[in-house]
Amino acid sequence: LCVDAKTRGQHIGEQLFEHVKSEAKRLGCYEVTLNVWSGNTSAEKFYEKIGLKTKERQIEYIL
């Protein structure tokens, strides 16, 4: 999910996530998983605010 910086604060992200949840339920999905870049604290705060919880953390080494 990505909301343009100019339109943030208008609850568009919440509406997008509600749509994603509705579609996932309609399709019989068990969960919705999102990835967020480390250090993107505004996204992390937003996701936590709308009810997502950290499930796991991935670490990588770029060759």
Residues whose CB is less than 8 angstroms from the CB of residue 31 and which lie 6 or more positions away in sequence, other chains included: 24
Residues whose CB is less than 8 angstroms from the CB of residue 52 and which lie 6 or more positions away in sequence, other chains included: 34
Kindly state the tokens that stand for 36: 């967020």
Check residue 17 and give its pLDDT: 94
Angle at 57 between CA 53 and CA 60, to 5 degrees: 155
Give the other-Cβ count within 10 Å of 13's Cβ: 19
pTM (predicted TM-score)? 0.77
At 3-59, the pLDDT tens digits run 888 988 899 999 999 999 999 999 999 999 999 988 999 899 999 999 999 998 888
d(CA 4, CA 12): 10
Check residue 25 and give its pLDDT: 97
